[in-house]
Amino acid sequence: MTHTSPSSRVDNIRHSLVGLRMPRALEMLDATLRRIEQGQIDGVEALDELLTEELSLRENRRIRAALRMARLPVVKTLTGFDFAFQPSLDRNRIMALAGLDFIARAEVIHLLGPPGTGKSHLATALAVEAVRAGKLVYFVALADLVAQLAKAEREGTLRERIRFLCRASLLVVDEIGYLPVTPGGGNLFFQLVNARYEKGAMILTSNRGFAEWGDIFGSPVVATALLDRLLHHAIVTQIEGSSYR
Ligand code: ADP
Ligand code: MG
């Protein structure tokens, strides 16, 4: 058996932590060893602390990167939502959605209500929950989505764009009805909705009722086709309140 001195052991640990890319554990190593020497913690506690810290650094990094990829305009949370202000909204129902079973079931959540009632806040907060749970999420306003699809169509890459938008297990389409969709946009949106149909979950927010979709999408035929897909396996939540601001 070869004799290894404590200091070369520590060098070895340092070397391993660098090789394993564990910067947080590496950073904590000296202070942790000192606490062991001083009898403040034992070896098991030290290992536990180093690994827990490293894991939480990685987890936070993963969440930050995934939030960027999800393109959320702002981060909002369910804890930051004041349910008391919006009594028409069933808190239990929203908290049940945060369990994310609707994603596994590829359901469509509709959040309807007047401007300022928290539809985008709730959609964003549910998207954040999904990101934390490791789901691939993509958030986009309808007008931007239609612009993306129209650009892809002009450039001959519509299939690829739709495939990209189908990869997310949760697609949030915000602000349906704020602006009328550009000509041809309803058709492009339908192609996407059809491609995700029964395969991927969506959250849609709108300040307009379903009866107005013909006007929004510029065609009653397209609106009917869209609603046929989007009201199947759907959960409709209507907020009847006043603006929070
Ligand atoms: P909507 O999408 O329905 O037009 P938003 O979700 O954008 O409304 O809400 C407008 C602003 O008010 C946002 O900053 C949002 O975070 C905030 N807000 C709305 N409702 C609530 C609420 N019940 N509790 C906390 N903040 C809220
Ligand atoms: Mg909104």
Tokens found for residue 207: 């300040």
206 within ligand 1 shell (Cβ under 6 A)? no
Q: Is 241 in the pocket of ligand 1 (CB under 6 A)?
A: no
Tens-binned pLDDT, residue by residue, of the chain (245 aa)? 557 788 899 999 999 999 999 999 999 999 999 999 999 999 999 999 999 999 999 999 999 999 999 999 999 999 999 999 999 999 999 999 999 999 999 999 999 999 999 999 999 999 999 999 999 999 999 999 999 999 999 999 999 999 999 999 999 999 999 988 999 999 999 999 999 999 999 999 999 999 999 999 999 999 999 999 999 999 999 999 889 87
**Cβ–Cβ under 8 Å, residues 24 and 60:** no
Tokens 């007047």 belong to 114
pLDDT of residue 138: 98
- The DSSP bridge pattern shows strands 108-112 and 137-141 to be unpaired
Cβ neighbours for 67, distance < 8 A, ≥ 6 positions apart: 75, 128, 131
**pTM (two decimals):** 0.90
What pLDDT sits at residue 241? 85
Identify the pLDDT of residue 151: 98
Q: Measure 124 CA to ligand 1 centroid, in angstroms.
A: 10
Instruction: Tell me what pLDDT residue 237 has.
Output: 96
Check residue 69 and give its pLDDT.
97
Please give the number of the atom of ligand 1 that sits closest to the Cα of 83.
23
Q: Across the chain, where does the E strand assignment appear?
A: 108-112, 137-141, 170-176, 201-206, 234-238
Ligand 1 close to Cβ of residue 121 (< 6 A) = yes
Paired strand residues for 140: 173
* pLDDT attached to residue 7: 87
Q: Whose CA is nearest to atom 18 of ligand 1?
A: 118
**Amino acid identity of 107?**
E
- Tokens at 110, concatenated: 């509709």
